[in-house]
Amino acid sequence: MQLTEVKLLASNTDLSLINKMMQRPPHEDFSLKETKPHLGGGKVTGDKLTSTYDLVEQMQYLYVRVVKAKDLPAKDVTGSCDPYVEVRMGNYKGTTRHFEKKTNPEWNQVFAFSKDRIQATMLEVTVKDKDVMKDDIMGGVLFDLNEVPKRVPPDSPLAPQWYRLADRKGDKLKGELMLAVWWGTQADEAFPEAWHSDAAAVSADGLASIRSKVYLSPKLWYLRVNVIEAQDLMPNDKTRFPEVFVKAILGNQALRTRVSMSKTINPLWNEDLMFVAAEPFEEPLILSVEDRVAPNKDEVLGRCAIPLQYVDRRLDHKAVNTRWFNLEKHVMIEGEKKKEVKFASRIHMRVCLEGGYHVLDESTHYSSDLRPTAKQLWKNSIGVLEVGILSAHGLSPMKTKDGRATTDAYCVAKYGTKWVRTRTIIDSFMPKWNEQYTWEVFDPCTVITIGVFDNCHLQGGGDKAGGARDSRIGKVRIRLSTLETDRVYTHSYPLLVLHPSGVKKMGEIHLAVRFTCSSLLNMMHMYSQPLLPKMHYIHPLTVSQLDSLRHQATQTVSLRLSRAEPPLRKEIVEYMLDVGSHMWSMRRSKANFLRIMAVLGGLIAIGKWFDQICNWKNPITTVLIHILFLILVLYPELILPTIFLYLFLIGVWYYRWKPRNPPHMDTRLSCADNAHPDELDEEFDTFPTSRPADVIRMRYDRLRSIAGRMQTVVGDLATQGERLQSLLSWRDPRATSLFVIFCLIAAIVLYVTPFQVVALFTGFYVLRHPRFRHKLPSVPLNFFRRLPARTDCML
């Protein structure tokens, strides 16, 4: 039996070409590279740092903590001063904020100078008085860098000391300054909030946007609103049957029920509406009962607001109690004034927050968290994921500053509800972060996403300053189940971004990853558990509901994180969560088709091999298959053990070629390296489209052509199914008569003939020598193709 589908695939796709395309190595420039960085400073034992910060290279910094000053001399006619502190190390200079008219100021600011960039031998800390014309020097303190102590966490912080101010000659002056100066690394707790010497050009307003931060996604709930009925509604027009529906609003989410079939003042619905709610609950659920009095005119019959803090929380499938809510009606008085009037109308509902579901804000294919919302349902963690974000190199220029190309790069990593953001390295195509982060792991079949971005908010002002958006440089996904436990993976991952002009490598990011398992037994047990919480299977949500709820969840997460300080901006969150992955893409469709063909390629290869056996291409192999077939028929109890033993041997054989490196973005698998420019332009088009009419017409005709071929394939599949049904439907009386008589004869023969004899006869007939074969189709296939289908009944 040859379907049009097979003909279509055979005519449009060469299977050998597909296999070569899927198996050939990727472009060398886009490949993953294993590295050997100098992790943990090269100290294996005896160093406290390596126990907690051993996946990054140590970076030495000179830290200066300016705490406060006292008894500063007066510098103006008011008998006071406007002091600030200047910390200078060679060509690098950092300043504290200044205080007006204060002789005992407190700053408590930390400055960090990278040892790699230090060229001086002395540290100079000067107290100055801010003036309109020229700032006056009030005194300072000098430190010899060779005398500065070294601190290694988790040692306690170095206690600051009072230093008497002196002039450049060393003579003591009035006033004292409290300081602490020490050598440390990026593991120091003062590191995240410190002013860094490589960020000297950043404005004071922009400093907050370059520091490393940890964010937490808001706790998300599914809110289920079961609208049952309403009673005693009071429509204004008593002469018509009301067409009533319920509209529910939560924040920027709005849903409505269908119009009630019972067109009375006591309508029934019994319909579920699903929302996404985030803690802390800031907005109430607002319901309004409305009457459609005209095609585009609705009349509000009553409203009620329900604070989510008082809504029941459900952890399993047991129904919560229903409640009646009174409706309030708004009446117009004197044209503009509104007055709330309570009356007897009410609505019957079941409202609950669903704690047994996992709120999907990521694609299920690469989700980083699968736990239910309610913490009571969480299982114990199975391990710890540690990621060292070391550096990047070869980054592409992302913008121009002062007439030259530059990049201000930072990383964002997302796993579970925890987001981390590294500090921004200013004006560098080879930034070094060397920051290490840790996550608890509750399921090994999850994915961590790490993205690299260019900071466009260094001058402060946020979105008000021209509406700048941080540019994406690329991202990496790592599936934890592909990692060996307790092994440190150090690789340089290519940062690939798809542009309308094609795929482009934006640089490489250097990562160190370690997945530590606390209980191997618990982790193995996870492979037998459902992927999602059980409520997804007991009361499953529809596909359209999941799509809508995922969109609302991503919008909620991006809105909340963009309100943090510094904000994790909307474009960053949406890129990390792959918000646009569901949109139509010709390139992605081709890639998925090739993936299917690669999977079916194994079955096709088995079919070709069996055809060679049947045609005696290799007589020795065919004879051995005959012997094996005879043994299995005579001893059928060996069939299943033989199959499982064969699979075991295949698995052991393939162990020699098991992947040694974690997977990464594959341009050939994604069909990104040979995509047509028009297909990429279509993929980057807005929704709804913004392209000219002739381009849209061309794309529409192309889509119609593809859909026509798919329509033919679906029709052929339906035809084969209808032919099967027509065997016993008597649509063709002669064919059904022949089939029924054949079934009777076959039943009698099989009743009196041992099954092994029938199996041997059938097997040897299929494996018969080519000289006993004909090139014409077999009798059963000819009979099947002559059966009627319902295609002749279609218009």
Instruction: Inform me whether the pLDDT recorded for 779 exceeds 70.
Output: yes
**Range of weakest confidence among 29-33, 306-310, 614-618:** 29-33
330 falls in which pLDDT band (50, 70, 90)? Answer: low
CA-based torsion, 751, 752, 758, 760: positive or negative: positive
| In the chain, % of residues over pLDDT 90 | 50
- Alpha carbons 735 and 732: distance in angstroms, whole number: 5
Residue 169: its pLDDT value, please? Answer: 81
Rounded to 5 degrees, φ, ψ at 228 are -95, -60
Nearest to 68 by CA among 183, 160, 131, 192: 160
Burial class (CB in 10 A: 0-12, 13-18, 19+), 791: exposed
Contacts of 465 (CB under 8 A, 6+ apart): 457, 459
Paired sense of beta strands 285-294 and 244-250, if any? antiparallel
Tokens of 241: 């049957």
14 falls in which pLDDT band (50, 70, 90)? Answer: very low
Note the pTM of the prediction, 2 decimals. Answer: 0.84
What Å distances lie between residue 595 and 122, 367, 482, 601, 689, CA to CA? 63, 21, 19, 10, 29
Q: Higher model confidence: residue 675 or residue 339? A: 675
The predicted model gives 267-284 an average pLDDT of 94
- Alpha carbons 286 and 473: distance in angstroms, whole number: 42
The predicted model gives 753-772 an average pLDDT of 87
Give the containing element (helix H, strand E) for 12: helix 4-12
Cα 784 versus chain centre, distance:
48
Instruction: Inform me whether the pLDDT recorded for 22 exceeds 50.
Output: no
Residue 42: its pLDDT value, please? Answer: 53
Q: What letter represents residue 39's amino acid?
A: L
What Å distances lie between residue 194 and 211, 253, 438, 625, CA to CA? 8, 41, 22, 74
Number of helices (H) and strands (E) in the chain: give both, helices first.
14, 30
CA-based torsion, 575, 577, 578, 583: positive or negative: negative
How open is the CA angle 326-328-334, to the nearest 5 degrees?
165
Residue 367: its pLDDT value, please? Answer: 92
What is the full DSSP assignment across 607-672? HHHHHHHHTTSSHHHHHHHHHHHHHHHH-GGGHHHHHHHHHHHHHHHHGGG--SS-----TTTTT-
Q: What letter represents residue 162's amino acid?
A: W
- Alpha carbons 382 and 427: distance in angstroms, whole number: 40
Paired sense of beta strands 172-185 and 161-166, if any? antiparallel
Instruction: Inform me whether the pLDDT recorded for 775 exceeds 50.
Output: yes
Residue 51: its pLDDT value, please? Answer: 46
Residue 662: its pLDDT value, please? Answer: 87
User: pLDDT tens for residues 598-640?
Assistant: 989 888 999 899 889 988 989 899 999 899 889 988 888 988 9
The number of residues in the chain equals 795
What is the full DSSP assignment across 722-742? HHHHTTTT-SSHHHHHHHHHH
Burial class (CB in 10 A: 0-12, 13-18, 19+), 171: exposed
- Alpha carbons 453 and 457: distance in angstroms, whole number: 12
The predicted model gives 534-545 an average pLDDT of 93
Which ranges of 474-618 does DSSP label H, i.e. alpha helix? Answer: 520-526, 535-538, 543-561, 570-576, 586-614
User: pLDDT tens for residues 57-76?
Assistant: 888 899 999 999 998 888 77
Residue 336: its pLDDT value, please? Answer: 52
Angle formed by the axes of helices 693-725 and 4-12, nearest 10°? 140
**DSSP 8-class letter at 366:** G
Q: Higher model confidence: residue 202 or residue 120? A: 120
- Alpha carbons 304 and 362: distance in angstroms, whole number: 33
Provide the 3-class DSSP secondary structure of residue 214. Answer: strand
Q: What letter represents residue 574's amino acid?
A: E
Residue 3: its pLDDT value, please? Answer: 40
Residue 31: its pLDDT value, please? Answer: 86
CA-based torsion, 42, 45, 46, 47: positive or negative: positive
The predicted model gives 439-455 an average pLDDT of 95
Q: What is the mean pLDDT of the chain?
A: 86
- Alpha carbons 793 and 618: distance in angstroms, whole number: 48
User: pLDDT tens for residues 457-513?
Assistant: 886 554 444 468 899 999 999 999 999 999 999 999 999 998 888 889 999 999 999
Contacts of 102 (CB under 8 A, 6+ apart): 80, 81, 82, 83
Q: Higher model confidence: residue 170 or residue 576? A: 576
CA-based torsion, 633, 637, 640, 642: positive or negative: negative
How open is the CA angle 585-358-363, to the nearest 5 degrees?
15
44 falls in which pLDDT band (50, 70, 90)? Answer: very low
747 falls in which pLDDT band (50, 70, 90)? Answer: very high
361 falls in which pLDDT band (50, 70, 90)? Answer: very high
Angle formed by the axes of helices 586-614 and 15-23, nearest 10°? 120
User: pLDDT tens for residues 399-409?
Assistant: 888 888 999 99
Instruction: Inform me whether the pLDDT recorded for 388 exceeds 80.
Output: yes
Q: Higher model confidence: residue 40 or residue 765? A: 765
679 falls in which pLDDT band (50, 70, 90)? Answer: confident
Contacts of 790 (CB under 8 A, 6+ apart): 718, 722
Residue 41: its pLDDT value, please? Answer: 60
Burial class (CB in 10 A: 0-12, 13-18, 19+), 420: buried
What is the full DSSP assignment across 705-728? HHHHHHHHHHHHHHHHHHHHHTTT
Could you tell me if 218 and 278 are in contact, meaning their C-beta atoms sit under 8 angstroms apart?
Answer: yes
566 falls in which pLDDT band (50, 70, 90)? Answer: confident
Residue 360: its pLDDT value, please? Answer: 93
**DSSP 8-class letter at 242:** -
Could you tell me if 410 and 210 are in contact, meaning their C-beta atoms sit under 8 angstroms apart?
Answer: yes
Tokens of 125: 């800390």
Q: What letter represents residue 230's amino acid?
A: A
